[in-house]
Chains A and B, each alone.
Chain A
Amino acid sequence: MFALAWRNIWRQSRRSMITILAMACGAAVCMPMMSFMDGMFATMFDVAVTQQAGHVRVEHPDYPVTNSMFDTMVDAEKKLEALEALPDASAVTWRAYGAGLLGTDKKSMGAVLVGVDPVRESRVTPTETMLKEGSWLTEPGQILLGYGLADELSASIGGEVVIMTQASDGSIGAGTYTVAGLVRSGNAMRDNQGAWLSLADLQELLFIENQVHELVLLASGGRDHVDTLKADVVAAVDEGVLVRTWYEADPQIAEMLKMGQQQSNIMLVVVFFLAGFGVLNTMLMSVFERTRELGVMMALGTRPREVIRLILMEGFLLSVMGVVLGGLLGGGLVYLICVQGLDLGYGDFEMSGVVFPSRMRGVFHINHAISVFVSMVVISILAALWPAWRASKLEPVEAMRAD
Chain B
Amino acid sequence: MVKVFALALLASVLVGPPVFAAEPTIKELLDATDDVNRGESSRSTIEMQVKTKRYERTMRMTAWSRGEEDSLIRILSPAKDAGTTTLKVGDDMWNYIPKIDRTMKIPPGMMSGSWMGSHFSNDDLVKSNRLSDEFTYEKESLIDGVYTIVCTAKPDAAVVWGKVVVKVRADKIPVEVAYYDEDGELARKMSFSDVRDFDGRKVPATMLLVPADKPDEFTRITTTELDFNVKFDDRTFSLQALKE
Does B18 touch A at the CB level, under 8 Å?
Answer: no
Does B19 touch A at the CB level, under 8 Å?
Answer: no
Scan B26-57; emit 1 where CB is below 8 A from any A CB, else 0. Answer: 00000000000000000000000010101111
Q: Judging by beta carbons under 8 Å apart, are B109 and A170 in contact?
A: no
Report chain B residues within 8 Å CB of A175: 100
Report chain B residues within 8 Å CB of A176: 100, 102
Report chain A residues within 8 Å CB of B57: 169-171
Report chain B residues within 8 Å CB of A170: 50, 52, 54-57, 117
Q: Judging by beta carbons under 8 Å apart, are A162 and B107 in contact?
A: no
Closest residue of B by beta carbon distance from A164: B104
Report chain B residues within 8 Å CB of A107: 105, 107
Q: Judging by beta carbons under 8 Å apart, are A108 and B105 in contact?
A: yes
Q: Determine how close the nearest CB of chain B comes to the CB of A199; give it in whole angstroms.
A: 20
Interface of A is mostly: strand
Scan B93-106; emit 1 where CB is below 8 A from any A CB, else 0. Answer: 00101011010111
Q: Determine how close the nearest CB of chain A comes to the CB of B73; give it in whole angstroms.
A: 13
Range, interface on chain B: 20 to 34
Q: Judging by beta carbons under 8 Å apart, are A166 and B117 in contact?
A: yes
Complex Cα gap A188–B100 (Å): 31
Q: Determine how close the nearest CB of chain B comes to the CB of A253; give it in whole angstroms.
A: 27
Does B78 touch A at the CB level, under 8 Å?
Answer: yes
Complex Cα gap A166–B81 (Å): 11
Does A168 touch B at the CB level, under 8 Å?
Answer: yes
Scan A146-172; emit 1 where CB is below 8 A from any B CB, else 0. Answer: 000000000000000010101011111
Please give me the 9 A-B residue pairs with the lowest Cβ-Cβ distance, nearest first. A170-B55, A170-B117, A174-B97, A162-B102, A103-B104, A170-B57, A108-B104, A174-B100, A110-B110
Q: List 8 A-B contacts (CB under 8 A).
A: A108-B105, A108-B106, A108-B107, A110-B109, A164-B95, A164-B104, A170-B52, A170-B56
B residues whose Cβ falls under 8 Å from a Cβ of A: 50, 52, 54-57, 78, 80-81, 84, 95, 97, 99-100, 102, 104-107, 109-110, 113-114, 116-117
A residues whose Cβ falls under 8 Å from a Cβ of B: 70, 101, 103, 107-110, 162, 164, 166, 168-172, 174-176
